[in-house]
Amino acid sequence: MNVRSSEDSYQAKKAAKEAEKTKAWVKTVRFLEWLAQHYNRLEVYGIEHVPDKGHGGILCANHPALLDPGFIHIAVHTQKDRWMRWLGWSGLFKASNKFIKWIIHEVESIVPVDEHEGKALNKESVIESMDNIGRELAEGHLVGIFPEGKNHNYFDYKEPYRFRTGAIRMALKNDVPIIPVAVYGTHKVWPSFGEIKKPYFHMWLTIPGWFPAKVKVAFGAPFVLDPALKEDPDNYDLLRAETERLRDEIYALTETLY
């Protein structure tokens, strides 16, 4: 066998392997969607506020539990036929939980950001991540962000954490709408009671299992930014005030789901 045919054979096997991998992933997604809709009786409200295909937008949500991205994505995918992008902490790619780690590695639409507890570990990497998010938005994709930067545990899911200002910064820079998102019930599906979080390591203290709790996801009307901030986007006081207002709006939306 010559070198050319050997290379062709290798590429053919690689393509076949990738095809099988894709098929397995599609089946997994369909199963998770069925699970969410029938086992967890997913209820979705305000889906009309989510931009249609071809229009970018930032979906900002509260973060009561580990499974929030999955349920939000399923709500958007099943009702708007859109595949979301996500901004995620780079340490998730090294998560100790094998299921979470597998999901993270399979979902190629996650843009990692190299930060810990709101502080950049590598500023150049963070800037690159923001540029990547900008490209996704410019191409008309939806990007999901949890401004709190971490998920809650089972006991404090109603208490807002401090919101980072990144979502509003990105919305201003890329001229896209912010859609407030509220999630409720995920803390009962896969309860988390704490976490061990280091700069490049993450382990959740959870109860193994997937419980049949009802999950609700609500999408609010686009968040209207203060015109003064658009005129002066570097004004930190205005930026912080708008971020707090966004937090209040998201948690007010969450209260409608209790």
pLDDT tens digit string along 184-225? 999 999 888 776 666 555 566 777 678 999 999 999 999 999
Helix (H, G, I), strand (E, B) or coil at 82: coil
pLDDT of residue 30: 87
Of 20 and 131, the one with more pLDDT: 131
Confidence of residue 93 (pLDDT cuts 50, 70, 90): low
Type of residue found at 163: F
pLDDT of residue 100: 60
pLDDT of residue 21: 53
Tell which residue, 180, 165, 200, 156, has the closest CA to residue 65: 156
Task: Calculate the average pLDDT of the chain.
Answer: 82
pLDDT of residue 127: 74
pLDDT at 130 over 90: no
CA angle 166, 171, 172 (to 5 degrees): 100
pTM of the complete model: 0.82
Type of residue found at 31: F
Structural tokens at position 12:
């053919």
pLDDT of residue 150: 83
**Rg of the Cα atoms in the chain:** 19
Tell which residue, 253, 245, 92, has the closest CA to residue 167: 245
Question: Residues 60-88: pLDDT tens digits?
Answer: 999 999 889 889 999 999 999 998 888 87
